[in-house]
Amino acid sequence: MPKKRKKGLLPAGALIFLLVVVALIVILIVLLAIDCSGNSRRSIPDATLVPTEIPATPSPTPTPSPVPTPEVSPTPASSPTPTPGPGAYAVTSIFSGAEPSNLGVLSAVVADGVQVESYSRSEKIFMGTSDTYFALDGVATFRGNNYRDGGAWGTIPNNPNELEIVWANHIGQLAGWGGVGWTGQCALVRWPEDTRAIMNLYAEKQQKADLIEVIYAAMDGNIYFLDLEDGTPTRDPIRVGAPIKGSVSVDPRGYPLLYCGQGIYEIDGKTVPVGTRIFSLIDQSLLYFLDGHDQFSLRKWYAFDASPLVDAQTDTLIQVGENAILYLVKLNTQYDPEGGTISVDPVVDRYVFTSDISDKPGMENSIAVYNQYGYFADNSGLLQCVNLNTLTCEWAFNVQDDTDASCVLEEEGENCVALYTACQIDHRGSRGDVYLRKLDALTGEEKWSVGIPAKTGGDENGGGAFATPAVGKGSLSQLVYFHIARTTDEPGSGTIYALDKQTGDLVWKRDLKYYGWSSPTCLYSEDGKGYVLVGSGSGQLRILDGLTGELLADADLESNIEGSPAVFGDMLVVGTRGKYIVGVKIKGGSV
């Protein structure tokens, strides 16, 4: 009599067959998970990105298997991959106090939508010095360039003694957000004749030989295009439909491309798309939308206040967002000036991170780049140096509070690059010290730190450093300038400090009587003397002697100057929260 089979068990033959099938399926899955370069890859569904531990001493030049490059049509007359030139110094050793492991920094890389265990760009980024960033005359991005050390082009008259308001254009508001906000700097561009000829400029502006175009994003959801000389429109505005607090960027190659982040994404209680947009400046069409609502984000806050950079040699957009992602976007730009067309076909790589201090790791400041290294601080106070060619953290530093001000870089000599940064008062309560710092950008070592007592306001306007520092050059080469909000118990107080670059010692300070978030800008006259231009929450725009802090000229714009001025020769442009974009002439005279 045959034995009864136990209920639920398979015959031995069937069981063996099932095991073979399962084994084949497992083998197939493993094979599919191995890409052609040998990198182990896996798709990551929403919110399951797994940062990998960073070694205690990261290698400055790792040699992992390369990530496959998608097949794209080459850009006409593309430049060869650059190599580091003289002065392109590299991270060779890390200061022990700046080891990423000290702060528990973990990171992951998503290459073209897939998480990879290792990453190496086939086209290496080696960005040049700040004075080589923009191929045209003007100011291309927030603070001008990849070092974030500018904001002005050309020289101003000798002995500046007057700020004359030449024109003022009224703009609107959207969902309660009006005028120009923080960081709110325009781009200023002198377009070549052949580029103007293919743009949708108004006919009289297209034919204007010396047109300098003002491109300003505002919180009423529009990007305005104006003539620097008289403030008249050069073409219709681009209507984004959501408030923009940050600063636009123009392509540094002189290509007719505009890049613009968006900081607000709730309009009348409704959520609208938020991200960084790329527009054609031939016909103002939207070419690409980098969505801040990113499935790989470890922080669910999606705004972009940052102003991106573009590495001209590798055709790569570099951007950071409040979603705590550093983006490298291979644009694959196709530009045909004769045919009057331009297009992009982006491939997006991401650097995502966490740390022991990063509960809210999103970035509001704009990334600064030296050689192949990107520098940014986040809302939690984590300052990082990230190798853009390997997307690994070289060093990290805790600046102790939220940092919205961008880092500023300066080459000081052989194998010596300075980084200046300042934090605000946020996570530590209603008052405390704002730390103004100088670090070695190549090692992460702190060179000096100065604590400035400050407080938050009784309203939503915070205290500390929202303004990006300004580094002096030429006659001001020994000084660095910090604009700090709410430095005393007086309502709305603000102060600008001039510190010695080598020691951090105070050289001079000036009480501005009212708080300000506007970034100071260094100006230089034809005779080589240096000055500091700074706006205030009171509406006062001032020019100070850069060596002494003496007030030389001022103008009342009648409303909070939250944005940062940009300067072209003897003309400056800045927006206010009072819903005006203002053009101001800098006048000089005899001593």
Q: What is the pLDDT of residue 491?
A: 65
Q: What is the pLDDT of residue 505?
A: 98
**Spacing of C-alpha 237 from chain mean position:** 23
| Paired tokens of 585 | 């002439």
Q: What is the pLDDT of residue 29?
A: 40
pTM, whole model, 2 decimals?
0.87
First to last CA, the chain: 121
- Residue ranges of the chain with pLDDT lower than 70? 1-86, 458-461, 491, 591
Bridge-based pairing of strands 446-455 and 431-440 is: antiparallel
Max Cα–Cα distance, the chain, nearest Å: 122
DSSP state of 324: S
Q: What is the pLDDT of residue 72?
A: 32
Nearest Cα neighbor of 49 from 384, 373, 295 is: 295
Count of residues in the chain: 591
Q: What is the pLDDT of residue 80?
A: 47
268: helix, strand or coil: coil
Residue 226 pairs in a beta bridge with 214, 233
Helix (H) or strand (E) holding 480: strand 479-485
Q: How far apart are CA 515 and CA 524, in angstroms?
A: 25
Q: What is the pLDDT of residue 542?
A: 98
353 close to 111: Cβ distance less than 8 angstroms: no
Q: What is the pLDDT of residue 57?
A: 36
Q: How far apart are CA 318 and CA 324, in angstroms?
A: 14
| Paired tokens of 563 | 């944005």
The phi, psi pair for 198, rounded to 5°, reads -105, 0
The phi, psi pair for 49, rounded to 5°, reads -65, 135
Q: What is the pLDDT of residue 429?
A: 78
393: helix, strand or coil: strand
Q: How far apart are CA 271 and CA 349, in angstroms?
A: 26
Q: How far apart are CA 518 and CA 82, in angstroms?
A: 36
